[in-house]
Amino acid sequence: MMGWITMQSLALQYRPSGMIGRTPIRFGTFTMDNSADWAHITPMDEADQADIRNIRATLAGDGEAYSRLICKYQNEISARMWRFSRDRRELEELVHDVFVEAYVSLKGFKARAPFSHWLNRIATRVGYRLWKKLKRRGEREAPLQDWDQFLQTDPQEPWEPREAAEMVHTLLAQLRPRDRLVLTLMYLDELSVNEIAERTGWSKTMVKVQVHRARNRLKALMADLGIDRELQP
């Protein structure tokens, strides 16, 4: 089970003298942002209003307010980061990094969409960064060493849900990070082209082109591996 993330744990690992990349972190030193963007916020529901109250309080220096946001969204972000890594220790680090990056970037949140959308965009960026790092190192998050076990079953028999999920995860891990990301967002997270564009920062045209190319590469990979059945993750 993942450890519970708290403001205390964030502060212990990233003290005021610490760095994330080249960005120093100083907890509790934010100032209130009274820009016009905040003045025209119209939250969709009470949950959004509660998020904005906690964000405002965090920006004013209330560490407990950010703890409430962590408690609210930690399970959702943990589930999302499971798409990016099956390693428990790495998963904890990814979730931790998402909330640290969100904290550091909080003044940039303009509330034009729910906080959860903004947080998930950060999560996507953090996970994608991991895949690119592994690619540069020549590593694969899910190697093909045990691929034969997936091919020993009868092609006419349906996959068990867990077996199918692991097969799809292993299969997608063989693709380039960009291909893997767009297929994960479209077919596993079931996002639309517009939603993928918002999540990644790509244009809608780029998303469509990337989906087309990624599909072709996945089809070629499946042919090379002798897979002649539908994958149902």
pLDDT 10s digits, 187-219: 888 999 999 999 999 999 999 999 999 999 998
7-136 and 148-224: same fold? no
Task: Check pLDDT > 80 for residue 171.
Answer: yes
- Topology classification of domain 148-224: Arc Repressor Mutant, subunit A (1.10.10)
Which residue intervals of 46-87 are DSSP H helices?
A: 46-59, 63-81
Hey, what long-range contacts does 185-193 have (CB within 8 A, 24 or more apart)? Answer: 185/124, 186/211, 187/233, 188/83, 188/233, 189/83
Q: Is the separation of the CB atoms in 26 and 61 below 8 Å? A: no
Closest CA to 104 of 168, 170, 22, 49: 22
Looking up tokens 């930690």 gives 74
The HSE-up count of residue 50 (CA atoms within 13 Å, CB side) is 8
- Topology classification of domain 7-136: Rna Polymerase Sigma Factor; Chain: A (1.10.1740)
What average pLDDT score do residues 109-119 get? Answer: 91
Q: What is the pTM of this model?
A: 0.74
What average pLDDT score do residues 159-185 get? Answer: 82
Looking up tokens 């963007």 gives 37
pLDDT for res 233: 42
Q: Please state the domain extents for the chain.
A: 7-136, 148-224
Distances (CA, A) of 127 to 20, 59, 172: 16, 26, 14
Count other Cβ atoms within 10 Å, centred on residue 61.
13
Closest CA to 177 of 117, 223, 98, 124: 124
